[in-house]
Amino acid sequence: MRRQTYKSWGNLPFGKQKVIPLLSRSDPLPTLSEGETILPYGNGRSYGDSCLNTDGALIDTRYLDHMIQFDRERGVVTCESGVFLKDLLTLLIPDGWCLPVLPGTQFVTVGGAIANDVHGKNHSQFGSFGCHVLQFELLRSDGRRLLCSPTQNEVYYHATIGGLGLTGVIVWAQIQARPISSTDLECETIKFSGVEDFFRLEEDSQNTHEYRVAWIDCLSKGTALGRGHYSRANHADGRRVSRDSLLWKKRISFPLTPPISAVNKFTLQAFNSVYFHRQRKTIRKDTLSFETFFFPLDHIRQWNRMYGPRGFYQYQCVLPMDQACTGVTTLLRMIASGGIGSFLVVLKAFGDCAAPGMLSFSRPGVTLALDIPNHGQRTLDALSRLDEIVLNANGALYPAKDARMPPDMFRASFPRLDEFIPLIDPVFSSSFWRRIQPTSQSGDER
Amino acid sequence: MTNIAIFGVTSAIAQATGRLMACDGTRFCLIGRNAEQLEIIKQDYLVRGASDVFVFPCDLASRTTHQDLVDNIMQSVGQLDIVLLAHGVLPDQAACEEDPFEMSEAFEVNALSHMSLLTVLANVMAQHTKGTLAVITSVAGVRGRKSNYVYGAAKGAVSIFLDGLRHRLSSTGVQVLDIRPGFVDTPMTADFEKGPLWASPEDIARGILKAIEKRKDVTYLPHFWWWIMMIIRHLPRFVMHKTGL
**Residue B24 sits at the chain A interface (C-beta within 8 Å):** no
Pairwise CB contact (< 8 Å): A2 & B41: no
**Residue A280 sits at the chain B interface (C-beta within 8 Å):** no
Residue of B40, B47, B193 with shortest CB distance to A24? B40
What confidence tier does A182 reach under pLDDT thresholds 50, 70, 90? very high
Residue B42 to chain A, least CA–CA distance (Å): 9
Pairwise CB contact (< 8 Å): B190 & A26: no
**Residue B192 sits at the chain A interface (C-beta within 8 Å):** yes
Residue of A1, A63, A67 with shortest CB distance to B48? A67
Residue A443 confidence (pLDDT): 43
Rounded distance between C-alpha atoms, residue A67 and residue B10, angstroms: 15
A133-139 sheet: strands from edge to edge: A67-71, A76-80, A169-176, A133-139, A145-148
With beta carbons under 8 A apart, name residues in chain A contacting B187. 21, 23, 63
Residue B47 to chain A, least CA–CA distance (Å): 6
The residue-averaged pLDDT of A40-62 equals 95
B2-7 sheet: strands from edge to edge: B52-57, B26-32, B2-7, B82-85, B132-136, B175-181, B218-221
Residue A294 confidence (pLDDT): 93
Q: What single string gives the DSSP state of each residue in B43-60? A: HHHHHTT-SEEEEEE--T
Residue A442 confidence (pLDDT): 44
The residue-averaged pLDDT of A341-345 equals 80
Is the pLDDT reported for residue A343 higher than 90? no
What confidence tier does A130 reach under pLDDT thresholds 50, 70, 90? very high
Q: Which one is predicted more confidently, A238 or A321?
A: A321
Asked if residues B139 and B228 have their Cβ atoms less than 8 Å apart, the reply is: yes
What confidence tier does A262 reach under pLDDT thresholds 50, 70, 90? confident
With beta carbons under 8 A apart, name residues in chain B contacting A21. 187, 190
End-to-end Cα, chain A, rounded Å: 23
B151 has catalytic annotation: yes
Rounded distance between C-alpha atoms, residue A227 and residue B65, angstroms: 73
pLDDT over 70 for what percent of chain A? 95
Residue A16 confidence (pLDDT): 83
Is the pLDDT reported for residue A247 higher than 70? no
**Residue B193 sits at the chain A interface (C-beta within 8 Å):** yes
Residue A2 confidence (pLDDT): 59
Pairwise CB contact (< 8 Å): A69 & B44: no
With beta carbons under 8 A apart, name residues in chain A contacting B44. 66-68
Q: Which residues of chain B fall below pLDDT 70?
A: none
pLDDT in tens, B193-227: 888 899 999 999 999 999 999 999 999 999 999 99
Residue A444 confidence (pLDDT): 45
Amino acid at A307: Y
What confidence tier does A253 reach under pLDDT thresholds 50, 70, 90? confident
Of the candidates B52, B25, B30, B27, which has an alpha carbon nearest to the alpha carbon of residue B41?
Answer: B30
Asked if residues A373 and A307 have their Cβ atoms less than 8 Å apart, the reply is: yes
**Residue B44 sits at the chain A interface (C-beta within 8 Å):** yes
User: Dmax of chain B from CA atoms?
Assistant: 55
The residue-averaged pLDDT of A397-423 equals 97
Residue B23 to chain A, least CA–CA distance (Å): 11
Residue A440 confidence (pLDDT): 53
Asked if residues A130 and A159 have their Cβ atoms less than 8 Å apart, the reply is: no
**Residue B195 sits at the chain A interface (C-beta within 8 Å):** no
Is the pLDDT reported for residue A240 higher than 80? no
Pairwise CB contact (< 8 Å): B47 & A23: no
Rounded distance between C-alpha atoms, residue A384 and residue A80, angstroms: 39
**Residue A147 sits at the chain B interface (C-beta within 8 Å):** no
For chains A and B, CB pairs below 8 A equal 36
Rounded distance between C-alpha atoms, residue A99 and residue A131, angstroms: 11
Asked if residues B32 and B57 have their Cβ atoms less than 8 Å apart, the reply is: yes
Residue A263 confidence (pLDDT): 82
